[in-house]
């Protein structure tokens, strides 16, 4: 039976030689990550599992084979963390995605490093290659054949309003103030709505919502305005409630995180008084792997729906807002 030394190959360098080899391996891993990002960006694959799973796996494997550290898991994780820290200041608002994706990056790097520590390049490590390949291809197959989470999804938030359905309908038809800042995950740096133009709940009525501008770290860069345009495509109103669908017709705000398709609002009188108000956001997930980003984007969409429900509930409970046609 082969001994443990048979898997280690040549004796590892000591002292300064080991440090130089480790530094070279770390630099090689970071260079491989930069090159991999360029290739994926050129192929418009930077939002796929090839980026979020394949890239940290490539960093870990580069460290393992180039530096042969005593603890591949530790060095691979540290190298990935350094790469994330260096990339953060260059991404501006994209740092939100970096923070959300950091556990996935670090987890994949640690897993690959741990397996390398366990097997030292033996058959057990090679047996994992198909699993990593499938994880990297999640959602990338034609027609989403390998998708692990629905591409189209929705999130709903419900609030009870201390007002009659007519007051709720009037608030929905008016221009919202967006006075309260978003909380929770949305407070990390997601765009915040500032104002909205347009009123009414009739078919064809439109809204233009303006958000906080996008800021860049480039020299002399000016803030870039962002907005979302919506149109009422379905509407019904009754004394005891109603429903309206706002379809997104243009979006320069959320396209970097998800593809928001439409917002649906329903309201109905409650037996004990007041009105139940429910907002549902329908969207298409744009990030893979779905098993990781699917729950996160659904949670973020739920937070956004809750923010809208709270804003319009407060508007309905306040002074009356006449519906302008």
Q: Between 292 and 280, where is the model more confident? A: 280
Q: Report the sign of the C-alpha dihedral through residues 14, 28, 70, 127, in that order.
A: negative
Find all residues with CB under 8 Å of 8, minimum gap 6, and list them: 120
Position 78 scores a pLDDT of 74
Q: What digits encode the pLDDT tens for the residues 124-150?
A: 555 665 666 666 666 555 444 555 677
163 Ramachandran zone, left/alpha/beta (phi>0; psi -120 to 50): beta
- CA distance linking residue 243 with residue 240, whole number of Å: 11
Position 153 scores a pLDDT of 92
Position 134 scores a pLDDT of 62
Q: What digits encode the pLDDT tens for the residues 293-318?
A: 889 889 989 999 999 999 999 989 87
Domain with CATH 3.30.530.20 in the chain: 152-317
Find all residues with CB under 8 Å of 118, minimum gap 6, and list them: 124, 125
- The residue among 259, 263, 26 whose CA lies nearest residue 152 is 259
CB-CB neighbours of 184 under 10 Å: 13
Q: Please name the fold of domain 152-317.
A: Alpha-D-Glucose-1,6-Bisphosphate; Chain A, domain 4 (3.30.530)
Position 189 scores a pLDDT of 67
In the chain, how many H helices and how many E strands?
10, 7
- CA distance linking residue 230 with residue 176, whole number of Å: 14
Q: Between 163 and 66, where is the model more confident? A: 163
What confidence tier does 10 reach under pLDDT thresholds 50, 70, 90? very low
Query: Does the predicted model carry a pTM greater than 0.85?
Result: no
Query: For the chain, how long is the longest CA-to-CA vector?
Result: 85
Q: Between 323 and 182, where is the model more confident? A: 182
Average pLDDT for the chain? 76
Find all residues with CB under 8 Å of 112, minimum gap 6, and list them: 56, 57, 60, 61, 64, 72, 76, 132
- The residue among 89, 86, 30, 35 whose CA lies nearest residue 60 is 30
Q: Between 6 and 246, where is the model more confident? A: 246
Find all residues with CB under 8 Å of 57, minimum gap 6, and list them: 108, 109, 112, 132, 136
CB 169 within 8 A of CB 237: yes
Per DSSP, 221 falls in state P
pLDDT exceeds cutoff 90 at 67: no
Q: What angle do CA 159, 244, 226 make, to 5 degrees?
A: 85
Position 100 scores a pLDDT of 80
- The residue among 165, 57, 30 whose CA lies nearest residue 112 is 57
CB 210 within 8 A of CB 324: no
- CA distance linking residue 193 with residue 190, whole number of Å: 10
- CA distance linking residue 54 with residue 61, whole number of Å: 10
């Amino acid at each position: 039976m082969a001994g443990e030394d048979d898997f280690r190959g040549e004796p590892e360098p000591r002292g300064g030689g080991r440090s130089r080899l480790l530094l070279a391996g770390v630099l090689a891993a970071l260079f491989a990550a930069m090159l991999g990002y360029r290739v994926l960006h050129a192929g418009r694959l930077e939002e796929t599992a090839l980026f979020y799973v394949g890239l940290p796996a490539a960093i870990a494997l580069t460290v393992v084979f180039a530096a042969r550290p005593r603890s591949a898991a530790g060095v691979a994780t540290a190298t990935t963390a350094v790469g994330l820290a260096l990339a953060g200041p260059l991404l501006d608002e994209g740092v939100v995605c970096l923070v959300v994706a950091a556990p996935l990056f670090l987890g994949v790097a640690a897993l690959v490093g741990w397996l390398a520590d366990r097997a030292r390049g033996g058959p057990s490590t090679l047996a994992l290659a198909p699993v990593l390949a499938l994880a990297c291809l999640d959602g990338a197959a034609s027609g989403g054949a390998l998708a692990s989470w629905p591409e189209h999804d929705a999130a709903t938030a419900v609030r009870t309003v201390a007002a009659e359905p007519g007051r709720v309908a009037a608030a929905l038809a008016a221009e919202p103030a967006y006075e309260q800042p978003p909380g929770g995950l949305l407070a990390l740096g997601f765009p915040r709505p500032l104002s909205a133009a347009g009123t009414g709940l009739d078919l064809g009525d439109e809204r233009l919502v303006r958000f906080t501008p996008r800021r860049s770290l480039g020299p002399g860069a000016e803030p870039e305005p962002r907005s979302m345009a919506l149109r009422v495509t379905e509407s019904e109103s009754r004394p005891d409630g109603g429903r309206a669908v706002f379809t997104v017709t243009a979006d320069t705000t959320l396209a970097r995180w998800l593809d928001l398709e439409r917002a649906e609002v329903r309201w109905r009188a409650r037996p004990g008084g007041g009105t139940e108000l429910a907002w549902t956001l329908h969207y298409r997930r744009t990030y893979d792997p779905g098993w990781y980003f699917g729950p996160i984007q659904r949670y973020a969409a739920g937070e956004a729906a809750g923010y809208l429900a709270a804003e319009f509930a407060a508007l309905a409970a306040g002074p009356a807002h006449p519906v302008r046609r």
